[in-house]
Structure 1
Amino acid sequence: MTTQTTKGTALITGASSGIGAIYADRLAEQGYDLILVARDAAGLKAKANTLAGAGRAVRTVAADLTKAADIADVAAILRDDETITLLLNNAGIGATAPLLDSDIDALEAMIDLNVTALTRLTHAVAPSFARRGHGTIINVSSVTALAPELFNGVYAASKAYVLTMTQALQHELAAKGIRVQAVLPGVTSTTFWATAGLPVSNLPTSIVMTPDQLVDAALAGLAQGELVTIPSLPDAGDWAALENARKALAPNLSKSAPAARYTGTIAQQA
């Protein structure tokens, strides 16, 4: 039986284990009913059972978000269920091998999940949020969005897309009452890394965060109104400095003529 007060419903992708499962615990504690989405039907059922005593309504949806039909099914839920007030795009897969050692079909499946599914689900829910004047979209990116030299370049690029899209959504949707947040985890002790080909046990403990710590920090960042939350970053001023430097480029990114170093004598000397 659910309690009387609710913050609405949070739909969480990749909810059967790891970061998504911890988010489910925390959001239930905060007063959200839940729609849990993942490929692992048994894992979803087990997670729903652990939430049975939380006093929240919990629905599970078994879906493989690398498949267009399953993405469409979840998108339909986001369009049609007016109780949904929060979308957490958490589902993702990674890779650690360099491009030349990677299987192209696996890389395409990673793009389908990390980029295409996230985009379609966000597109499905945003109109409803805008119409109602409120809603929250949390996109789980990665610190590799800022450090493409680490691990697999296609993975890093997919997470850079998530970060850039979230920043653009802030520009487009904030005035409509929609909150957006990009969360950039570092290495987190989940099965994600073993699946990607590099078990966490092979990494220095000094760079590994627990999923509980990660989610608690991310939700603290959301409560503080952060657009971008990097749980491991000690000084938020470092991110602000990077953003300010990026924005300072804006007046010079598009002009009617090439820069002097590409023309005339300077270019010929080079």
Structure 2
Amino acid sequence: MSIRQLLLALIALSLVASFAHAQEETAEEVPLGEDGEDSIEEERDPNAISGVFGRAIFDGQDLLGVPRFPAGEKVYTTIGFANDVKNPAYDVFFVSAHITRLGDHLNHFQNFSGIRHDRAVARGETATFRYTFTPHEALEPMEYNLVVRLFFRNDNNQTFAAVAYNSTIIVEEPLGTDPKTIMTFLTIGAIIAAVAYVINLRRPKTSKPRATKKVEAEVSGTSTAAFDPEYVSKEHLNFREALLTRKSSASPVKRR
């Protein structure tokens, strides 16, 4: 059995137990006829909606605590719908929800999108429905009142509503950064980059002196020639040295 199937089974058992307890509390003494049998007619009013029970359970929330939902995040809900054995069959066709401020049940603060269903719930049957809604990301973190309702109809196409949840919830701060905040940061970053680029263009440029390669100077008589010994062959260097030595020894010193 999967976790989802186990959860649905637990919800169904909880709905049946709650429904039975509610029936015991509202039970009245039934008058008996002469034959000792119930004097109530077997068929009930098809327009009556007594004996219908709905309950909403939110995924990941403590059943005994106040549900807490981050703004801008999806809320997954399982809704149970129990139909009494003495009721006619009903067709559940719509689920919707809205929130209001505490103490103000007339003005809807946010209407959530409704979800259409087409589920026939026979007498004595319990059915479950999934519903998803998202508190707006701009909601102020505080307590609100949430109302979740199921809409159903009978064979005469008369529509009724059952309240599955009508109590307090807490809307908290968003978990992550919303798209509007991301676009704001990107815009600020682009402006800073543009300003830095303009300042860099207007900054005066300083010319750097070009590096010059030092070369050795060859002194021969009164002339100076620049050369790089690395690019001169060894034979030419030996010839040059011999030539310079010969010139220096052949030059007479004139005296008066």
Q: TM-score, normalised by structure 1?
A: 0.21
Which structure: greater helix fraction? Answer: 1
Specify the structure having the higher radius of gyration (Cα). 2
Q: TM-score, normalised by structure 2?
A: 0.22
Which structure: greater strand fraction? Answer: 2
